[in-house]
């Protein structure tokens, strides 16, 4: 081969080798480059992925309303809300005012009864976590139905409870007629109706972080400035030193002059071997486990419905025993609870009688002059509902004189020579003896006079 062709081939091979080195260095630099914008995007994605889904809000108002309101210790108030969705309630949140003095509080949910709180569905108590913040109380799993009206009630203990609501809101609030309460009453009795609502309280399906306005964040730019060619130092120059820019051209390297051998080499034509094609290797198929849809929880069943009121039998006399019949219910109740109540002469202002929770009740001296009724509470998976009997007549004392409840009667034919017989009738006070006196009266039954010696039955 001529000498000038040999030198040209050597120089071309050196240039190819240097170009390959430059390409490999540039690829390695790109693979290891982590600009500041990449770190910012990673932090944003991490912050987004760490956000946990909050439990669903079923009922209430998550806004911190502007008005601070208060309840003295032992007084309760209820606020009306319409359920946002169906589900099982597990927690109630209440925003505590900054000037709160109550050490603990009770919250609960009441059914709606003709536009007023009715029977208590569930309640829970907890300590005030901190004034000027949300406090949470876990409650027993209770089903709520979307679009149905419920009442959220609050009760403070150990000082004046301060909470937040809105004056002249879109719903009404009510105060309980009972004072010095330690728990929410099973059946609400309205004392007054106001327009301060909605209450800053809400009900969720689980325990979540209290809702608060997010803290402002400094935005992090993820864009690379246009026109910038600066990159981390990678690769080497032809002198072996680190280059500040991998895109700079590499200085050419002088190759030594190669002298031809004494005798020209005999070149044999290169033997070309046919390319060996290897069959493509296909990765084994990856089997994905079948995805199962999450179980759908059925809506809670409807609570029991009273179709015939409970009733009370027995004499309303001190020391006598009254018996209760539970009435008739639909909805397949699974249990019944009884509570006897003492009422005034009109059958109003009824209060529970301590310990009187069976189907029978023995009247006491404290019941004399009042009326008595029984409250029956039926429960199923959908909740609890109470119904009341008609109050008894006024309870009379056992130590007073006997009182005739059913007049004596006479049997026999009113014919001369025939014998008449008398019954004693029905009396209260447990009479110990009876005396008889027959009387002769006019045809109109007036002007009666004792018949001498006629003193037997």
pLDDT tier for residue 107 given thresholds of 50, 70 and 90: very high
Q: Which residue has the tokens 């004494």?
A: 262
| Contacts with 259 (C-beta within 8 Å, 6 or more apart), sequence order | none
Among residues 426, 457, 452, which one has the least CA distance to residue 439?
452
- Tally Cβ neighbours within 10 Å of residue 96: 22
**Mean pLDDT along residues 348-356:** 93
Q: Which residue has the tokens 């037997």?
A: 456
Cα–Cα distance between 78 and 61 in angstroms, integer? 14
pLDDT tier for residue 23 given thresholds of 50, 70 and 90: very low
Cα–Cα distance between 162 and 355 in angstroms, integer? 34
**Mean pLDDT along residues 375-383:** 93
Cα–Cα distance between 189 and 207 in angstroms, integer? 31
Cβ burial of 375 (10 Å; 0-12, 13-18, 19+) is buried
pLDDT tier for residue 46 given thresholds of 50, 70 and 90: very low
Q: 37 phi and psi, to 5 degrees?
A: -65, -35
* pLDDT of 166: 86
424 near 392, Cβ under 8 Å?
no
**Mean pLDDT along residues 428-447:** 89
* pLDDT of 158: 87
Q: Given CA atoms 34, 36, 42, 46 in this order, what sign does their dihedral have?
A: positive
Among residues of the chain, what percentage have pLDDT more than 90?
A: 46
* pLDDT of 430: 79
Higher pLDDT, 207 or 224: 207
User: Which of 154-168, 264-278, 331-345 is predicted least confidently?
Assistant: 264-278
- Tally Cβ neighbours within 10 Å of residue 174: 24
Q: Which residue has the tokens 């290897």?
A: 278
Say if residue 190's pLDDT is above 70. Answer: yes
DSSP per-residue string spanning 15-50: HHHHHHHHHHHHHHHHHH---HHHHHHHHHHHHHHT
User: Which of 2-11, 76-85, 389-398 is predicted least confidently?
Assistant: 2-11
Among residues 84, 89, 62, 60, which one has the least CA distance to residue 146?
84
* pLDDT of 94: 94
Q: What is the distance between the terminal CA atoms of the chain, rounded to a whole angstrom?
A: 162
* pLDDT of 233: 42
Cα–Cα distance between 150 and 108 in angstroms, integer? 10
Q: 384 phi and psi, to 5 degrees?
A: -125, 145
pLDDT tier for residue 1 given thresholds of 50, 70 and 90: low
* pLDDT of 5: 52
Render the burial of 15-48: b for 16+ CB within 10 Å, e for the rest: eeeeeeebeebeeebeeeeeeeeeeeeeeeeeee
Say if residue 232's pLDDT is above 50. Answer: no
Q: Work out the angle at residue 143's Cα, subtended by the Cα atoms of residues 137 and 146, and round it to the nearest 5 degrees.
A: 110
pLDDT tier for residue 288 given thresholds of 50, 70 and 90: low
Q: 153 phi and psi, to 5 degrees?
A: -110, 150
Cα–Cα distance between 455 and 457 in angstroms, integer? 7
**Mean pLDDT along residues 320-339:** 94
92 near 136, Cβ under 8 Å?
yes
**Residue 405 CA: distances (Å) to CA of 313, 429, 438:** 15, 11, 20
Pairing of the two strands 305-308 and 328-330: antiparallel
pLDDT tier for residue 32 given thresholds of 50, 70 and 90: very low
Q: Work out the angle at residue 38's Cα, subtended by the Cα atoms of residues 36 and 43, and round it to the nearest 5 degrees.
A: 95
Say if residue 19's pLDDT is above 50. Answer: no
Residue 225: its H or E element: none
Tokens of 320: 């006598």
* pLDDT of 269: 54
SS in 3 state form for 410-433? EECCCCCCCCCEECCCEECCCCCC
Say if residue 299's pLDDT is above 70. Answer: yes
* pLDDT of 53: 60
Residue 10: its H or E element: helix 3-32
**Mean pLDDT along residues 30-34:** 41
Say if residue 96's pLDDT is above 70. Answer: yes
Say if residue 176's pLDDT is above 80. Answer: yes
**Residue 381 CA: distances (Å) to CA of 90, 144, 146, 335:** 15, 12, 17, 10
User: Which of 23-27, 199-203, 292-296, 360-364 is predicted least confidently?
Assistant: 23-27
pLDDT tier for residue 227 given thresholds of 50, 70 and 90: very low
pLDDT tier for residue 401 given thresholds of 50, 70 and 90: confident
Q: Work out the angle at residue 197's Cα, subtended by the Cα atoms of residues 192 and 199, and round it to the nearest 5 degrees.
A: 110
Render the burial of 418-431: b for 16+ CB within 10 Å, e for the rest: eeeebeeeeebbee
């Amino acid at each position: 081969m001529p000498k000038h062709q040999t030198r040209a081939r050597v120089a071309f091979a050196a240039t190819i080798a240097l170009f390959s080195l430059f390409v490999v260095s540039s690829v390695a630099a790109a693979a290891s480059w982590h600009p500041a914008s990449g770190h910012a995007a990673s932090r944003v994605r991490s912050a987004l992925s760490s956000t946990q889904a909050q439990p669903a809000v079923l009922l209430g108002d998550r806004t911190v309303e502007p008005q601070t309101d208060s309840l003295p210790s032992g007084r309760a108030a209820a606020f009306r809300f319409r359920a946002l969705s169906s589900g099982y309630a597990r927690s109630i949140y209440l925003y505590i005012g900054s000037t709160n003095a109550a050490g603990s509080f009770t919250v609960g949910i009441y059914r709606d009864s003709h536009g007023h709180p009715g029977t208590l569905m569930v309640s829970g108590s907890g300590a005030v976590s901190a004034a000027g913040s949300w406090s949470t109380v876990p409650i027993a799993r209770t089903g709520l139905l979307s679009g149905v009206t419920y009442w959220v009630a609050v009760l403070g203990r150990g000082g004046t409870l301060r909470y937040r609501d809105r004056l002249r809101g879109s719903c009404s609030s009510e105060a309980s007629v009972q004072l010095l309460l330690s728990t929410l009453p099973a059946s609400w009795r309205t004392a007054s109706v106001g327009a301060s609502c909605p209450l800053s309280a809400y009900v969720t399906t689980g325990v979540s972080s209290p809702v608060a306005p997010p803290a402002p964040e400094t935005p992090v730019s993820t864009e690379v400035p246009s026109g910038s060619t600066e990159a981390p130092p990678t690769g080497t120059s032809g002198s072996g030193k680190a280059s500040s820019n991998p895109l700079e051209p590499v200085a050419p390297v002088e190759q030594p002059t190669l002298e031809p051998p004494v005798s020209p080499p005999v070149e044999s034509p290169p033997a070309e071997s046919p390319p060996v094609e290897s069959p493509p290797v296909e990765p084994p198929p990856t089997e994905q486990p079948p995805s199962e849809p999450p179980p759908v929880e059925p809506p809670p069943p409807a609570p029991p419905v009273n179709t015939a009121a409970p009733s009370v039998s027995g004499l309303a006399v001190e020391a006598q025993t009254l018996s209760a019949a539970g009435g008739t219910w639909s909805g397949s109740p699974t249990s019944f609870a009884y509570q006897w109540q003492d009422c005034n002469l009109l059958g109003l202002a009824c209060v529970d009688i301590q310990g009187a929770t069976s189907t029978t009740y023995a009247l006491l001296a404290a019941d004399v002059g009042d009326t008595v009724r029984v409250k029956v509470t039926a429960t199923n998976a959908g909740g609890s509902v109470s119904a009341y009997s008609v109050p008894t007549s006024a309870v009379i004392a056992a130590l007073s004189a006997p009182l005739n409840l059913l007049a004596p009667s006479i049997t026999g034919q009113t014919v001369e020579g025939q014998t008449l017989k008398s019954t004693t009738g029905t009396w209260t006070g447990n009479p110990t003896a009876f005396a008889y006196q027959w009387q002769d009266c006019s045809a109109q039954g007036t002007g009666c006079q004792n018949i001498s010696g006629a003193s037997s039955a």
